[in-house]
Amino acid sequence: MSIKFDAIIVGAGPAGLTTAQQLAQKGFKVLVVERGRKPGSKNVYGGRIYAHVLDKLYPEYVKEAPVERWVRKERISFLTEDSGTTVEFETNNVEHKSFTASLSDFTEWLGKKAEAAGAMIVTESPVDSLVIKEGKVVGIRSGNDEVYGDVVVSAEGINRLVLERSGLAPKLEPKMVGVGVKEVIKLGRKVINERFNLDEDEGVAWALAGFPTHYAPGGAFIYTNKDAITLGLVIYLSHGDKVDAPVHDLVEEFRLHPFINRLIKDGQLLEYSGHLTPVMGLNASPPSLYGNGYLVIGDAAGFLLHGGIIIRGVDFAIESGRVAAEAITKVHEGGGNFDEASLSVYGKLLEESFIMKELRVFRNAYKALDEPRLYNDYAKFINAFLKRYFDVDGTPRKLFSTFKETKGNVTMLDMMRDMVRMVTNL
């Protein structure tokens, strides 16, 4: 027996479930195929979701979605073994801009939304490959089963084996991705409020560089959930050879850094995870985001904006899921047969959405962020400079002489060059 669907979606993550929900509520017969036990059980991210995309799709989300805390405090730190320099921004504004969440919970919630709209989600089924007939994707293969659909949406995430096996994406290269490792640590709500100086539903998002990665390109993060914090780091795989300790040790050293350890004293480890993350934006996209019978969305499409401090994946995933559903609807209404020409409407709609506008602006961000000096010399310099400057001992210390004394091996020319590269690309 062969059942045919209007659309088959590979992967029940934020991108795929959005497409599923959007299509199902318009009456499409939608199948989502997920390898985990339930939606969210294989998802990992840093810790924060930018909410602008939810206002449109799920107006009731503020009450319904599994929000942990609303981020109203942003911290950026350069950390060394014995010192740290932090910029902190705080706002009293209670607008709902971004929130921390457990991605497993959030994805499960999106799954319920998709099912409520009528989509079918099949779990515990890793998709092995696409079924391609006469140059057109016509379905998916999972174990001994083949399922057919008018269009297949790859929402399989960054580790895009299905696209690779079908020859629709090149093998991932180290320069395209970073490895993230993360610990979820339970502290209790009151303790978090006190130690991070937060009100009841307020959260902090904290990005750190320098010591956590042993000064290699990458960075660390801490987010506060309601009762737990998430703490972790990302190493750019292109610089993996510069790391002098295993990543699973680095994250522990970071956690045990005196400034961090005191914040999570008496905590309890709830989970330890790892995941790849795109770090090159559009430069790591498959050669084509659509073709005969298929579309690519979310991380698999390279839709993650990595701007150094701001890292946005989930909002891009959800928006690309919405755009894909809109494109499929248009092709369907136009009586199209989901070939490459008719699906080019997806490309057009992506251009009109914030996805391509923003990703193009940050297209070269990785070039600025790939500079090892940022994570090494500058992290050390800013701390050495301030340490020297504040170390009053009766010798006169003007800013510029302190600067010259502490800048290390970095030349003024390097600094100017890096500054220009950051200002123009970030």
Partner 1 sequence: MSMERKIPIEERLNSNAWDVDQRPHIRIKDPDQCRKCDAKPCLYLCPARCYTPGSDGAVLFSHEGCVECGTCRVVCPSGAIEWNYPKSGYGVQFRFG
Q: Which residue among 245, 341, 412, 419 contacts partner 1 (CB under 8 A)?
A: 245
Selection from 155, 151, 130 nearest residue 142 by Cα: 130
Q: Does 227 bind partner 1 (CB under 8 A)?
A: no
Give the binding-site size for partner 1 (rule: CB under 8 A): 61
For strands 84-90 and 69-79, give the pairing.
Answer: antiparallel
Kindly write out the interface string for residues 87-106 of this chain, putting x where it contacts partner 1 by CB under 8 A and - elsewhere. Answer: ---------------xxxx-
Buried-exposed string 212-250: b where 16+ CB fall within 10 A, e elsewhere? bbbbbbbbbbbbbbbebbbbbbbbbbbbeebbeeebeeb
Q: Which is nearer to partner 1, 157 or 281 (CB)?
A: 157
Q: Does 169 bind partner 1 (CB under 8 A)?
A: no
Task: Decide if 158 contacts 177 (C-beta within 8 A).
Answer: yes
Kindly write out the interface string for residues 39-68 of this chain, putting x where it contacts partner 1 by CB under 8 A and - elsewhere. Answer: -xxxxxx-----------------------
Enumerate residues 6+ apart whose C-beta is below 8 A from 183.
Answer: 230, 231, 232, 251, 255, 269, 271, 272
Write the DSSP symbol of residue 136: E
- Distance set, CA 108 to CA 59, 154, 308, 416 (Å): 18, 19, 28, 47
Only one of the segments 72-80, 110-118, 121-129, 202-210 lies at the binding site for partner 1 (rule: CB under 8 A); that segment is 121-129
Q: Does 229 bind partner 1 (CB under 8 A)?
A: no
Q: Which is nearer to partner 1, 118 or 126 (CB)?
A: 126
The three-state (H, E, C) secondary structure of 138-192, written as one string: EEEEECCEEEEEEEEEECCCCCCHHHHHCCCCCCCCHHHEEEEEEEEEECCHHHH
Q: What 3-state class would DSSP assign to 299?
A: helix
Q: Does 159 bind partner 1 (CB under 8 A)?
A: yes
As measured in angstroms, the least distance from the Cβ of 278 to partner 1 is 12
Q: Which residue among 27, 59, 174, 334 contacts partner 1 (CB under 8 A)?
A: 174
As measured in angstroms, the least distance from the Cβ of 121 to partner 1 is 13
List of E strands, 304-366:
305-306, 311-312
As measured in angstroms, the least distance from the Cβ of 358 to partner 1 is 24
Q: Which is nearer to partner 1, 269 or 419 (CB)?
A: 269
Q: Which is nearer to partner 1, 162 or 327 (CB)?
A: 162
Q: Does 76 bind partner 1 (CB under 8 A)?
A: no
As measured in angstroms, the least distance from the Cβ of 328 to partner 1 is 26
Query: What part of residues 255-284 is at the interface with partner 1 (CB under 8 A)?
Result: 255-256, 261, 264-276
Selection from 85, 379, 371, 419 nearest residue 215 by Cα: 379
Q: Which is nearer to partner 1, 53 or 185 (CB)?
A: 185
Kindly write out the interface string for residues 285-304 of this chain, putting x where it contacts partner 1 by CB under 8 A and - elsewhere. Answer: --------------------
Q: What 3-state class would DSSP assign to 411?
A: coil
Q: Which is nearer to partner 1, 251 or 305 (CB)?
A: 251
Q: Which is nearer to partner 1, 41 or 344 (CB)?
A: 41
The three-state (H, E, C) secondary structure of 204-246, written as one string: EEEEEEEHHHCCCCEEEEEEECCCEEEEEEEEEHHHHHHCCCC
Q: Which is nearer to partner 1, 94 or 245 (CB)?
A: 245
Helix axes 314-333, 14-24, angle to 10 degrees: 30
Q: Which is nearer to partner 1, 207 or 235 (CB)?
A: 235
Euclidean distance between CA atoms 40 and 423, whole angstroms = 37
Q: Does 145 bind partner 1 (CB under 8 A)?
A: no
Task: Decide if 318 contacts 18 (C-beta within 8 A).
Answer: yes
Q: Does 170 bind partner 1 (CB under 8 A)?
A: no
Q: Does 183 bind partner 1 (CB under 8 A)?
A: yes
Q: Which is nearer to partner 1, 186 or 363 (CB)?
A: 186
Characterise 216 by phi-psi region: left (phi > 0), alpha (psi -120 to 50), beta (else). Answer: beta
Enumerate residues 6+ apart whose C-beta is below 8 A from 103.
Answer: 40, 43, 44, 45, 314
For binding to partner 1 (CB under 8 A), which residues are involved?
Answer: 35-37, 40-45, 102-105, 107, 123-126, 143, 158-159, 161, 172-174, 177, 179, 181, 183-185, 228, 230, 235, 237, 240-241, 243, 245-249, 252-253, 255-256, 261, 264-276
